Structure 1
Amino acid sequence: MSSRDDILGAVRSAKPGLDAPAPTVPNYDENYPADRAGLIDLFAERLTMMGGTWHALPEGQTVDDALQEALADKLGKTFDEAVIASNVPEVAGNRALTETDAPGSVHDVDIAVLRARFGVAETGSVAFSEAELTVNSIAYLAQHLVVLLDPAEIVTNLHRAYQRDDFVSANYTVFHTGPSATADIEGVLVRGAQGVRSLTVIPAPVQ
């Protein structure tokens, strides 16, 4: 028996025989808009505060057109030259993602287009599981992240996020709150330092 087993065995034997229910944690929904439109506006405000971009589709604009408009000045190359990995039917990418791809194999992706499982108004965050990512590293190694989000899937806060069945049942879940950023060096804020350089959220109901 290892030292680890000895330690854990001692902890188990000393564990109190208390059978008490977990405390009920409030949801704090009273601090958030009660209507859907207000919740969407709050999400967009918090997303922008964290350096992300909210790109609502004007009348007649497609998701593909919105993607090109949002990244036109950020890409540094033409869209014909860009490596685009798309996991959504609204955008035709030129780089397929498969579950057998090595994490480092997506290092050359310029734009990743994903659908978020849900959004959180409190923080302006979008949530992904392994189902939306296919290759978990795509959300970190891509230069630019474009996210489709169904406005009906925006919850008030992280308390509500943690209660969702799809959050509990996922093998892997990650929250992205704006693009990568750091202010460690002389207090200067730099975006895109350790991950995606931009994060654009497009409200788009699931078809």
Structure 2
Amino acid sequence: MRGRNDILADIRANKPKFSAPAPDVPDYDDSYPSDVSGLQARFIGALEKMGGVWADPETGETLEATMRRALTDKLDANGIIASNVPEISGNRRVRAEDTPSSLHDIDVAVLRARFGIAETGSVCFTEAELAVNAVAYLAQHLVVLLDPGAIETNLHRAYRRDDYINARYTVFHTGPSATADIEGVLVHGAQGVRSLTIIPAR
């Protein structure tokens, strides 16, 4: 009886020898708006369907004030705000040398998304934005700054981006964590962040 290695060697030796280019996959986004405001509206619609919140700053309001207004019922005066963005100071920084277990007490993590996706209402983070990958999962609430001009139509476009391709680690967040039991009762924050708030910021 012939062994496994002999059979596999025969398969490799007799494999048809041809070279074919990969098929050209379309972007499937002909129906999407081409302007920033149209894509932003599409993004907000998808975000809200997934339980996320879009928080526009009011006239003259700082981004930190916008964040605190959006989290009025979620953040008390002593809450731990870990900010990885210069626009919002917070009271704690997440450093690359931090261990995931040291982030267990964070109430709010503030991050900047690399880009958003109108199709799903998702935001993209790489290791550069997260510093410690676990921060976007262990925090109670996630606040994300997103440039409306950096919203892609769909995942096909997102996968073509150089910053997505060249990152060592990439994750898409779509709304807060959620789960539903067999009776259809939806619970947010069961396995991850309890809320996701997006603040437009160029």
Q: TM-score, normalised by structure 2?
A: 0.92
Aligned residues: 200
Q: Would you say 1:126 and 2:123 are equivalent positions?
A: yes
SS of equivalent residue, structure 2 residue 82? strand
1:94 to 67, 91, 96: 91
Instruction: Trace 1:13-162 onto structure 2 (pairs within 5 A).
Output: 15-75=15-75, 78-79=76-77, 81-162=78-159
Deviation at 1:18, TM superposition (A): 2.7
Deviation at 1:11, TM superposition (A): 7.0
For 1:36, the aligned partner's letter is: V
Compute the RMSD of aligned alpha carbons: 2.1
Which sections of structure 2, spanning at least 5 residues, go unmatched?
A: none
2:193 to 192, 196, 205: 196
- CA distance in 2 between counterparts of 1:152 and 1:137 reads 27
Structure 1: 4+ residue segments shifted above 4 A: 4-15
Deviation at 1:15, TM superposition (A): 4.7
- CA distance in 1 between counterparts of 2:7 and 2:131 reads 39
Cα 1:170–1:8 change in 2 (3 A) is: farther
Q: TM-score, normalised by structure 1?
A: 0.90
Work out which of the two has the higher radius of gyration on C-alpha atoms and give 1 or 2: 2
Deviation at 1:94, TM superposition (A): 1.5
Which sections of structure 1, spanning at least 5 residues, go unmatched?
A: none
Cα 1:20–1:102 change in 2 (3 A) is: same
Q: Would you say 1:163 and 2:160 are equivalent positions?
A: yes
Of all paired residues, the percent bearing the same amino acid is: 63
